[in-house]
């Protein structure tokens, strides 16, 4: 896997904290920092997600992908899946994630709660590389709700 990240500060000035990531699969992702009123030259312009927000979003995508795939492989009629992530970070550098809660909303016809619970557990224990890595520093908890349809 490869990725190239380039600082996008205005030519000649290299101010701001914007970056563009070009992934090995040929996709582009913009990132930016929060504005810093005390030292504007060190702050971003709030034009894109923060790098750590992209880590959290990628983790949500990784685990949701697993949950859907596991349910489909179990021949369950899953028709929707979303996950809301709420994270806390350490106060001091490095400001790693210390707590992450993931709330899944899974839609389908006749989905057994036990199958959804098992799919979430399998993702976090075996398949989702991102959440397994983050679990080294963060306490990860999960919850879910089922919607018929």
Render pLDDT for 70-91 as a digit per residue (tens, 0 to 9).
Answer: 999 999 999 999 999 999 999 9
Distance from C-alpha of 95 to C-alpha of 73, rounded to nearest angstrom: 37
Q: Dump pLDDT digits (tens) for 60-72.
A: 999 999 999 999 9
The CATH class, in words, for 51-148 is: alpha beta
89 is written with which tokens? 């970070």
Question: How close are the terminal C-alpha atoms of the chain, in Å?
Answer: 37
Residue 82: how many CB atoms within 10 A of its CB? Answer: 11
Is the pLDDT reported for residue 128 higher than 80?
A: yes
The residues spanned by each domain of the chain are 3-42, 51-148
pLDDT-derived band at 36, boundaries 50, 70, 90: confident
């Amino acid at each position: 896997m490869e990725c190239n990240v380039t600082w996008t500060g205005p030519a000649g000035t290299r101010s701001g904290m914007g970056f563009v990531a070009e992934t090995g699969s040929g996709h582009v992702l913009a990132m930016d920092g929060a504005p810093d009123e005390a030292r504007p030259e060190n702050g971003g312009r709030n034009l894109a997600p923060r790098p750590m927000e992209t880590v959290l979003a990628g983790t949500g995508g990784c685990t949701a992908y697993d949950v859907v795939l596991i349910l489909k492989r179990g021949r369950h009629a899953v028709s929707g899946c979303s996950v809301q992530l709420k994270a806390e970070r350490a106060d001091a550098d490095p400001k790693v994630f210390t707590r992450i809660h993931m709330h899944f909303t899974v839609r389908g016809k006749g989905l057994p709660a036990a199958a959804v619970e098992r799919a979430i557990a399998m993702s976090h224990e075996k398949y989702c590389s991102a959440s397994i890595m983050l679990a080294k520093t963060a306490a990860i908890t999960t919850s879910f709700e089922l919607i018929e349809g």
